[in-house]
Amino acid sequence: MPQPTWIDEITFADIEQNPYDVYERLRREAPLAFVPALGAWVASTWRHCQMIANDSENFAGAAQPSLLRTFGTPNVLSAEDDTHADLRAMLDPALRAREVRRYIDDLVRPIARKQLESLAGRNSAELMAEYCEPVSVRALGDLLGLRDVDSDTLRQWFHALSSSFANAALDPEGNFLFPEGFEAGDKAKEEIHAVVDPLLQRWKEAPDDLAAISHWMRDGLPEGQSRPPEYIYPTLYVILLGGMQEPGHAMGSTLAGLFSRPDQYKQVLEAKQQLLAKAVNEGLRWTAPIWGAVSRTAKRAIEVDGIEIREGDTVMVTYGSANWDQAEFEHPEVFDMDRPQHAHLSFGAGRHACAGAAFAPQLARIALEELLERLPALGPDPEYPPLEMWGWAFRGPKELRARW
């Protein structure tokens, strides 16, 4: 049966500002639909996202044009088979849950405390730019070995790469509607090379045990061998975007959710450590930081629930929409850290699930513990307009104005 004609009228403006109305209608009327503005199929329900993400027989890694244009290949999101296994073996050791528990406190708390010192003597701040994102980028930057790159530069890099990745609008012929939208990302990649090329050369000769990228060069390889820079860079871009964006925006969304629920916020303030993990988990569900950026590629022609998908077609598995599926969550639009226990999909599913699934929530939890310990009177700033979320591929608060 033909899909509803209104889907042909969906624009990027519709879904970047507020994807929820569009995706609620998709879940109800066309849970697997081809959206011309994206040049891709969109899976919008929990069931369809789970089904496609876990179907390695019929679906391969992501290959949407803006992803390949931004990251290049081989990257961990697109790669398959031995290459994907090698890239995950390169990334995963520093991000496994047991390893994260070993170092995360010592990594994050000093960074959070130092950032809080920059707010001393004040009674208000824009927390996304002045706390959440700086702590997020600094923690991951230090873990990677980019200790000499200042936090403002790291923030500029991930925002530039994000704008490049999200520049996914296509014309009917499959060409990018806004090719100039890649310029900031290209400039950021030039800057990244200028910083990282010398480090790779240094670490090739003298490995740095405290720098994850240094380990990427040789871990899992026979002695004397190393991975070449051109193999490492595409996945490094992925991590500099998603790995830096996700924890900071998880912090911001969690705070925004708690501000919307004074009763639950009071509970958190009275028992921070015990409840913040629950609050962060709900913040990740309520506003998935990586909202609609994940996709799969059909390995072969396949029929899914009567819908014919061609070989090579892209299917967006929109985890932010799945997390608001009314068939799975009661009143999903409400932040409720006390809702019945139910897994969310903000870190994806299947073999391409996010490598940072243990790192990001722990980073966010510790940073929020430090923030609320230092500023227990923290609350939304009434002098500013209500909170505004933004983004379809990546989503979080545009600003988070607070007072204390």
| Cα-only R_g, the chain | 21
- Residue 362: burial class (beta carbons within 10 Å; 0-12, 13-18, 19+): buried
Q: Which amino acid is at 324?
A: W
- What is the overall mean pLDDT for the chain? 95
- For the stretch 221-278, pLDDT in tens is 888 899 999 999 999 999 999 999 999 999 999 999 999 999 999 999 998 777 999 9
- Residue 53's pLDDT is 97
- For the stretch 29-57, pLDDT in tens is 999 999 998 899 999 999 999 999 999 99
Phi-psi region of 287 (alpha: psi -120 to 50; beta: other; left: phi over 0): beta
- Rounded Cα gap, residues 108 and 113, in angstroms: 9
Q: How many structural domains are present in the chain?
A: 1
- Residue 277: burial class (beta carbons within 10 Å; 0-12, 13-18, 19+): middle
- Residue 28: burial class (beta carbons within 10 Å; 0-12, 13-18, 19+): exposed
Element holding 174 (H helix, E strand): none
The three-class DSSP label of residue 206 is coil
Angle between helices 229-238 and 183-205 (to 10 degrees): 130
Q: Which amino acid is at 34?
A: F
The three-class DSSP label of residue 403 is strand
CATH number for the domain harbouring residue 43? 1.10.630.10
Handedness of CA 47, 52, 54, 58 (dihedral sign): positive
- Rounded Cα gap, residues 403 and 25, in angstroms: 37
Give the contacts of 202 (CB within 8 A, at least 6 positions apart): 208
- For the stretch 94-125, pLDDT in tens is 999 999 999 999 999 999 999 999 999 999 99
- For the stretch 76-90, pLDDT in tens is 999 999 999 999 999
With vertex at residue 4, the alpha carbon angle to CA 3 and CA 7, rounded to the nearest 5 degrees, is 100
Q: Domain of 22?
A: 5-403
The whole-model pTM stands at 0.96
What tokens were used for 42? 């969109």
Q: How many Cβ atoms from other residues are within 10 Å of residue 2's Cβ?
A: 4
Query: For residue 331, what is the DSSP state?
Result: S
- For the stretch 272-302, pLDDT in tens is 777 999 999 999 999 999 999 999 999 999 9
